[in-house]
Structure 1
Amino acid sequence: MTVTDTPLLNKSLADIATQVAGSTRVFRHYKLDFCCGGHLSLQDALNAKGLDAEPVLAELESLADVEPETDWAGSSRSELIDHIYNRYHLTHRQQLPELLKMARRVEAVHGNKPDCPVGLAEHLGHMSHELEGHMQKEEQILFPMLRNGLVQQAAGPIHVMQNEHDDHGEALQRLMDLTNDMTPPTGACNTWRALYAGLEALRHDLMEHIHLENNVLFKVA
């Protein structure tokens, strides 16, 4: 079978992410957007990035023996909502204030250096504000509706949340642009390095968060 004949290439990133344990790590490595861009087939996503399919497929196929992750698609809506709230909503509320403090410090101390991410603190402040409003709408409106089985009535709020997820995806891309793909320059101080490591963790968590909502919770709904 040739690479172009591989069925995996015709599957959407969202389907692979939900069906192949460990695949989201591979997608993040190659900067393939499986949350907001999850509707794209693997082939189309690779083409858009100009990536060779062979190494990506090799990594995905090597995951066959990886221990399966929790099958959230087989869980109840309430179980999945509890997981999203405890694992992601609470985590984001811890991450962003600390990242904002570090970004302000880095810009204050190193603002005259060409590699300094000037504007990062302002962007993180905007992200924090938007994400907090988004999570509150989920917690106060959407999640209670889904817990109570009001699936049809939830269609409107779900559409709003999906649109906001697209905005969060654009905000993550802006983070990448501001930080040279979250790569600290040679000789960066410990705070600068810790900031970028924290931003990478935020990116990982927010992508997983959006993926679980767009591709699992909202599909079940």
Structure 2
Amino acid sequence: MNNKFIRIYEDIAERIRNGDIEAGTLLQSELDLSERYQTSRETIRKALKMLYEEGYIQKIQGKGSIVLDIRKIDFPVSGLVSFKELAQKMGHRAQTVVKLFREQAVDQALGQKTGFAQKQQVWQINRVRKVDGEQVILDKDYISQRLISGLNEDICQDSIYEYIEQSLGLSISYAQKEILVEEPTTEDRELLDLEGFHNVVVVRSKVYLEDTSQFQYTESRHRPDKFIFVDFARRK
């Protein structure tokens, strides 16, 4: 029947959802699946295409189809939430590894990129975020030293936002964000467990305090299978 591939898709998808097929494992080959379901390889290809389009699998050249973790973390596009807060809310094991922490003066190129004035002193911070043991986010931050004093590696490893709000008594107010899909850089490939993915989701943000002073520029680079970026919209 013409809709047999839909039934195959639904069966495999259900097995992935209930854990019979574990995330990170390879699906059976097209030949093995065609024998299992007593159908043609063309029908199997249609079912696999649906699984790919619905985010259940990722096709890896030379390997086959790998099962994705459908328990993704919801990142609110319009909200401001720290990685620590989000991971705790979603019930994931989270760890932050500080790869770079240094002071830097803003030059012309960095000023154009970040929005900070030239010659201003900033903290440059690169952090790898681990979720359930996998390195899936690279956060690259520039934070104003004039506005945010006293930063150190221990604070960066825990939560910068918690430090700003609870220790410094400042109110983080709003952010301007842009979201892009880019090819991984050499740094991405070195620091992230990309698992064969050829793209990363990049969120660039300028973050402001309550008095409208920009205190942070951040570039957050995500492995695409682990996160859903969500927003709430209302028609006026």
Query: Which band: TM-score by shorter chain?
Result: under 0.3
Q: Which has the higher contact order (CA 8 A, sep 6+)?
A: 1
Decide which structure has greater strand share: 2
**TM-score, normalised to structure 1's length?**
0.26
**TM-score, normalised to structure 2's length?**
0.25
